[in-house]
Amino acid sequence: MSRQIIAEFPFVERFDELSAEFPGAGLDWLDTMRRTSLDRFNRLALPSTRVEAWKYTNLRELAKTPFEMAEASSGSASLDLSEQAAMGSESAHRLVFANGIYNASLSRLETLPDGVIITNLEDALTTHGSLVRPHLERLSSLEEDALLALNTAFMMNGYVVIVEEGIEVGTPIELLFLSDPSSPTSIHPRNLIVAGAESNAKLTEWHVGSGDSDYWSNPVTEVVVGPEAAVSHRKVQRESASAFHLAQTRVSLAGNATYTGFLMSAGARLSRCEVEARLEGDGANCELDGIYLARDHQHSDITTRIAHTEPGGNSRQVFKGVLDGHSHGVFQGQVSVSPDAQRTDGHQLNKTLLLSEGAEIDTKPELEICADDVKCSHGATAGQLDELELFYLRSRGLDAEEARQVLIRAFIAEVVESVEEGDFQDQLNTIIDDWLSNGLSTS
């Protein structure tokens, strides 16, 4: 078996034709970058399970699907979706992307304070090109990653949030990615968050699909957190039951910067949410928490890489999953501590509840510590609902289903409560209730 999966995606073969319509088409530096990335993708191809980082997540089904690219006209079809999904709050700034295409009429930008840019990538390339370019170029040249290269070659729209030094964006920012294409479509959003020194911003991404829509969402998000700045970045993945969701978030943190990431992964046929955080300044803080829920034949992969390269950094991760049916969960958590990163404090916890015989979890914590004065820990458990706890609850009158739901909620409560009380926590509880009410295995 090869380390590559060769796919012949129609949209990749139509690059020349499609590229005229891409955001920023005609900008030399960008055209070159796209072309270079396309070559790189064609050279690398999709990783097979022979590649260690992809050992547990197989892209073969993805590679067989004849994906096209979204047409500009398909960006209008998603009004129903945004209503159904009941996402977000009334008062937030909101950017909406329908099938990857920016939808101005569904978006809503309240008056922005000076020093805050919230816009879509296409507009940002025109009006703030010099701010955006170095970030796109840096990430794109960084490494040999097929999916990142593909995203760069085909990057469509996406959001750009830039907050200048010392500015606090009080109002939350919501980014909605709604998808309901009628034929297999690939979507490659490219997002950028830049928080200047001592600034503060809160963002929530929703990735939502309708019904059985067949699509592949391949978003790449770059997050740059400046000295003493704080970014809260939440994401909800509820893609359609036929969708593929392969997301990468690349975070870099300066001295005393704080990144608080939260992930709820409940949708898609196959998903991988990859978060890489590099703590590149003294005393940087990174907190990542998340929940994954999967049933039937869903595949849900959470992959995190935390790199401590400077002294005094803190990282905390708590991920909990509930797997039912024949679903397959993957948790890969890598924490690396460079020789210079003394006094690093890094902790990671992964717990999975398996509700059925057929459910499966592969969990792989990985610590690479090259400094001597550090506190690092990791833990991983997988288990079933406790028979005695179920008996106790039922002996008090709760039926079997209710008793299971109580214990499942209790299992993930810690992660839900890591989010501050308010709209988002309520929405998480609604998602969990929805998931539970869809019926659990009785075994």
Partner 1 sequence: MLEIKNLHARVDDRDVLNGIDLSISAGEVHAIMGPNGSGKSTLAYVLAGRDGYEVTEGSIHYQGNDLLDLAIEERAREGIFLAFQYPVEIPGVAGTTFLRTAVNSLRKHRGEKEFDAMQFVKYVREKQSELNITDDMLRRPVNVGFSGGEKKRNEILQMALLEPKFAVLDETDSGLDIDALKTVADGVNTLRDPNRSMLVITHYQRLLDYIVPDFVHVLAHGRIVKSGGKELALELEKEGYGALTGTQAA
By CB under 8 A, name the binding residues for partner 1.
387-389, 391-400, 402-403, 406-407, 409-411, 413-414
Minimum distance of partner 1 from residue 418's CB (angstroms): 13
Please list, in sequence order, all residues whose beta carbon lies within 8 angstroms of the beta carbon of residue 411, skipping any fewer than 6 positions away: 320, 322, 351, 353
Give the C-alpha distances (Å, rounded to integers) separating 440 from 271, 319, 358, 392: 21, 21, 13, 19
- What three-state secondary structure class fits 419? coil
Q: How far is the CB of 225 from partner 1 (least distance, A)?
A: 32
Report, in Å, the least distance between residue 409 CB and partner 1: 7
Q: How far is the CB of 352 from partner 1 (least distance, A)?
A: 15
Between strands 314-323 and 285-294, the pairing is parallel
Rounded distance between C-alpha atoms, residue 344 and residue 284, angstroms: 10
Nearer of residues 90 and 387 to partner 1, judged by Cβ: 387
Could you write out the three-class secondary structure of 268-315? CCEEEEEEEEEECCCCCEEEEEEEEEECCCCEEEEEEEEEECCCCCEE
Find the shortest distance in angstroms from Cβ 443 to partner 1.
12
Is residue 93 a contact partner of residue 101, using CB atoms and an 8 Å limit?
no
Q: Is 170 helix (H, G, I), strand (E, B) or coil?
A: coil
Closest CA to 305 of 268, 341, 346, 358: 346
How far apart are the C-alpha atoms of 153 and 438, rounded to whole Å? 39
Q: Please say whether the beta carbons of 182 and 211 come within 8 A.
A: no
Nearest residue (CB) to partner 1, 364 versus 409: 409
Q: Is 333 helix (H, G, I), strand (E, B) or coil?
A: strand
Nearest-approach distance from CB 403 to partner 1, in angstroms: 8
Task: State in angstroms the smallest separation of the CB of 349 from partner 1.
Answer: 14
Residue placing its CB nearer to partner 1 in the complex, 128 or 409:
409
Task: Give long-range contacts, CB 8 A cutoff, 24+ apart: 28-31.
Answer: 29/133, 29/137, 30/125, 30/133, 30/136
Give φ, ψ of 178 to 5 degrees.
-110, 135
Closest CA to 308 of 275, 330, 286: 286
Select 380 or 407, whichever has its Cβ closest to partner 1.
Answer: 407
Q: Which one, 273 or 415, has the nearer CB to partner 1?
A: 415
Q: CA–CA separation, 128 vs 24, rounded Å?
A: 12
Rounded CA Rg of the chain: 21
For residue 411, give both structure tokens. Answer: 């299992």
CB 130 to partner 1: min, Å: 50
Shortest distance (Å) from residue 319 CB to partner 1:
16
Minimum CB separation from partner 1 for residue 396, in Å? 4
Other residues' Cβ atoms within 10 Å of the Cβ of residue 386: 10
